[in-house]
């Protein structure tokens, strides 16, 4: 099922939980737009298992 973040395993926008970062780490928040990808490329198949949330940066660099 699609999440509120990029679900690509190789995405540079993958989120690390803030509690795992060292206390002195600078964090910059940016707006990220997500697109819904159909894994089987069939836009008519909207089953949750066939959908993946991917950021537009991921689409741009692939």
Per-residue pLDDT tens digits for 47-57: 999 998 888 77
Specify if 58 maps to a domain.
Answer: yes
Is residue 34 assigned to a domain?
yes
Instruction: Place 43 in a pLDDT band, splitting at 50, 70 and 90.
Output: very high
- Structural domain includes residue 23: no
Residue 52: φ, ψ to 5°: -140, 135
User: Tokens for 29?
Assistant: 């928040």
Whether 48 maps to a domain, the answer reads yes
Q: Is residue 19 part of a domain?
A: no
pTM above the 0.85 mark? no
Contact 38, 32 (CB under 8 A): no
Question: Into how many domains does the chain fold?
Answer: 1
User: Does residue 2 belong to any structural domain of this protein?
Assistant: yes
- Containing structural domain, residue 53: 1-10+30-62
The per-residue pLDDT for range 5-37, each reduced to its tens digit, is 677 766 655 556 677 778 888 877 777 788 888
């Amino acid at each position: 099922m699609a999440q509120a973040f990029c679900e690509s395993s190789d995405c540079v926008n993958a989120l690390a939980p803030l509690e795992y970062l060292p206390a002195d780490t600078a964090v910059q928040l940016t707006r990220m737009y997500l697109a819904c990808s159909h894994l089987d490329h069939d836009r008519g198949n909207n089953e949750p298992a066939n959908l993946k949330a991917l950021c537009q940066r991921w689409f741009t660099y692939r």
